[in-house]
Amino acid sequence: MKALLCATLVLAAAGDWTTSRPEAEGLDAGALNVLHQEFASGRHGYVDGLLVMRHGRLVFERSYVHDYDRLFAGQDQRRGPYNYYDPDWHPYYKRGGLHTLQSVSKSVTSALIGVALRRGEIPNVDVKVLPYFAGFRAPVDARWSALTLRDLLTMTAGIRWDETTVTYTDPRNSCAAMEASPDWVQFVLDQPIAEESGRVFNYNSGVTQLLAQVLRKATGRPPDDYAAEHLFGPLGIRSFHWKRTPTRLPDAEGGLYLTARDLARIGTLYLQDGVWERKRILPEGWVGESTAPRMVVSSQPGRDRDYGYQWWSLPYGADRKRAFAAIGYGGQLLLVVPEHGLVAVLTGWNIYDRPPPSVNLVLDRIVAAVRRP
């Protein structure tokens, strides 16, 4: 795998979460413990951590240890940040406390777009995106000129891309091919248009990488530096690692590492409509706009989900209330349930012989633990 430049940032220290007991916040500790025991037994694969918050308080936190060095034996022995078997990089950065988020990074990138909109550095989500790529080799297909920021955010750009029929460890996967290229943005710009923009959802990590370039062009700064000042810093996130591509652009589609507690800060920011400690960080209404169900992705019972602006929208219960989530390869999950004031984080590394727990299973079990408002 290609060795890439990376960025690790440490920010000023800030206070940690206020803790409480599940019962004090209206949750059934027994129900949460049953889920914990299932994770501890290995029933749901390689889960690394479970964290649950309610009413802004940390009420349940458990971690699980797995021998990833042993699991690495017999796998691809090449080292580096894009060999998902390398235990120096996955699931923990340099075997420390920062956990890979994979595609949860996409939702954080969406948050940065919101920050840039609030600061006036991006005018609106209907702006045409091609001017942000001045200096790159222009796409051959003239239909690229019609693409808007909204098309990128909703993954409806219509670019020919296959990221779902083969695994990420297969070089035929479009995302894997992008990650092996010397310039990820140019790789995406070189792809043909297959569908009219704004109409067909196609999961595409490449469009998120285009968002990183939009942010760099609009703000004049790499997105990780911008995040450190305008998102992570205000939230009290002390440290993070964000892999960079060969052109030094942060890997916006899957390269961010955070602790579970710090990821919960982002979930809480979204639960609070973009306000943190009485300071507005995201535009008013951006959370609702970002997490609204804009594109139907799956209507299968028990697996139905829709897509917003790099966030997943999940109906649940008989009355079809809505939760929203950031979801990443290998079992990364940031889950927000506004109806119940809940934020949950799940981390893991299910890329070996077991599937991760389904998002719907986690959602249903966490909601089932609610006993009172």
- pLDDT score for 270: 98
Please report which helix (H) or strand (E) contains residue 287, including its range.
Answer: helix 286-291
* CA atoms within a 13 Å half-sphere pointing along the CA-CB vector of 216: 18
pLDDT number for residue 207: 98
Residue 276 lies in a domain: yes
| Residue 321 resides in a domain | yes
Whether 94 is covered by a domain: the verdict is yes
Residue 195: CATH number of its domain: 3.40.710.10
**Residue 373: inside a domain, yes or no?**
no
pLDDT confidence of residue 223:
98
Phi-psi region of 272 (alpha: psi -120 to 50; beta: other; left: phi over 0): alpha
> What is the model's pLDDT at position 345?
98
* pLDDT of 161: 97
Q: Do the domain assignments include residue 324?
A: yes
From the list 260, 277, 276, the residue with the least C-alpha distance to 334 is: 260
SS3 50: strand
Which position has the token pair 């700064």?
A: 221
Question: Which structural domain, as residue segments, surrounds residue 306?
Answer: 6-368
Neighbour-count burial for 122-137, b at 16+ CB within 10 Å, e otherwise: beebeeebeebbeeee
1: in domain: no
**Does 135 map to a domain?**
yes
DSSP 8-class letter at 355: P
- Into how many domains does the chain fold? 1
pLDDT for the residue 302: 66
Residue 328 pLDDT: 97
Q: Is residue 335 within a helix (H) or strand (E), and if so which, with residue range? A: strand 332-337
Q: State which residues of the chain have pLDDT below 70.
A: 1-15, 302
- Look up the pTM and report it: 0.94
3-state secondary structure 58-127: EEEEEECCCCHHHHHCCCCCCCCCCCCCCCCCCCEHHHCCCEECCCHHHHHHHHHHHHHHHCCCCCCCCC
